[in-house]
């Protein structure tokens, strides 16, 4: 998670806590259970590098079945100067890009000490995700080279299908509101497609002039991956 993502996550979680604490005032007594059978359903909003929205319901006793979607979007503009010694060229790049990611998942969750204020849970289930990334660089060429400006472009498409194992904890503010954290491991097959177009400035010593060399490449592959999830923090509403 970069600094901007971390700051945004912190601000949103702080706002969620500010909203949740007034709701908790006076809604339960010390001897009352924190997870009531009267509220078998819940909605969760979680944040890490993605925004997660999930709905869950109690099933098979204390077990939970949760259906969720993860959403992520990244967009950036940047400028860069690159110098190439052979030939001796200096190019100015104005880049822009975006990256989006969507994931659907079903989790089967088992909480321990399910009626305590603080409870730990484990779980897991299948997921499927897809995403797209595109970057585009506008290259501003020095007029002394006698060449027009041009664009480089890179695109990537990824699909993933697999399973994940989860471990988390939750603190009940009251019977309806809770704060949770969660992490885990993912094992999945990934299918990727890449398309690259790149233009480079080349030098012809015979004519003592610059010219363009165009390069393009398409590739695709599939592979197995295992990785650890980021720590997600969020809020739970029960009804």
Q: Rounded distance, CA 148 to CA 159, Å?
A: 37
Rounded mean pLDDT, 130-143 = 81
Q: Which residue has the higher pLDDT, 16 or 97?
A: 97
SS3 sequence, the chain?
Answer: CCHHHHHHHHHHHHHHHHHHHHHHCCCCCCCCCCCCCCCCEEEEEEECCCEEEEEEEECCCCCEEEEEEEEEEEEEEEEEEEEECCCCEEEEEEEEEEEEEEEEEEEEEEEECCCCCEEEEEEEEEEEEEEEEEEEEEEEECHHHCCCCEEEEEEEEEEEEEEEEEEEEEEECCCCEEEEEEEEEEEEEEEEEEEEEEEEEEEECCCCEEEEEEEEEEEEEEEEEEEECCCEEEEEEEC
**3 band by pLDDT with thresholds 50, 70 and 90:** very low
**pLDDT (0 to 100) of residue 7:** 53
Q: Rounded distance, CA 189 to CA 159, Å?
A: 8
pLDDT, one tens digit per residue, over 153-167 is 888 999 999 999 999
Q: What is the dihedral of CA 176, 124, 51, 233, to 10 degrees?
A: 60
**pLDDT (0 to 100) of residue 2:** 46
**pLDDT (0 to 100) of residue 234:** 95
pLDDT, one tens digit per residue, over 174-205 is 888 999 999 999 999 999 998 988 777 777 78
Q: Domain 3-238 adopts which CATH fold?
A: Porin (2.40.160)
**pLDDT (0 to 100) of residue 206:** 84
**108 band by pLDDT with thresholds 50, 70 and 90:** very high
pTM (2 decimals)?
A: 0.71
């Amino acid at each position: 998670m970069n600094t901007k993502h971390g700051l945004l996550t912190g601000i949103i979680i702080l706002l969620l806590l500010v909203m949740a604490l007034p709701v908790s005032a006076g809604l339960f007594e010390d001897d009352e259970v924190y997870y009531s059978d009267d509220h078998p359903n819940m909605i969760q909003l979680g944040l890490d590098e993605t925004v997660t929205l999930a709905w869950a319901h109690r099933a098979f006793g204390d077990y939970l079945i949760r259906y969720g979607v993860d959403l992520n979007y990244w967009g950036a503009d940047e400028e860069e100067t690159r110098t190439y010694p052979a030939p001796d060229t200096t190019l100015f790049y104005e880049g822009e890009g975006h990256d989006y990611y969507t994931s659907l998942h079903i989790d089967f969750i088992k909480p321990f000490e399910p009626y305590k204020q603080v409870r730990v849970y484990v779980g897991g289930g299948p997921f499927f995700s897809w995403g797209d990334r595109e970057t585009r660089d506008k290259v501003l060429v020095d007029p002394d080279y006698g060449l027009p400006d041009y664009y480089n472009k890179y695109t990537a498409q990824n699909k993933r299908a697999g399973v994940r194992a989860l471990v988390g904890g939750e603190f009940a503010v009251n019977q309806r509101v809770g704060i949770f954290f969660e992490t885990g491991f993912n094992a999945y097959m990934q299918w990727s497609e890449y398309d690259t177009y790149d233009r480079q400035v080349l030098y012809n010593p015979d004519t003592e002039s610059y010219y363009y060399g165009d390069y393009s490449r398409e590739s695709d592959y599939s592979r197995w991956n295992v990785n650890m999830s980021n720590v997600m923090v969020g809020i739970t509403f029960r009804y």
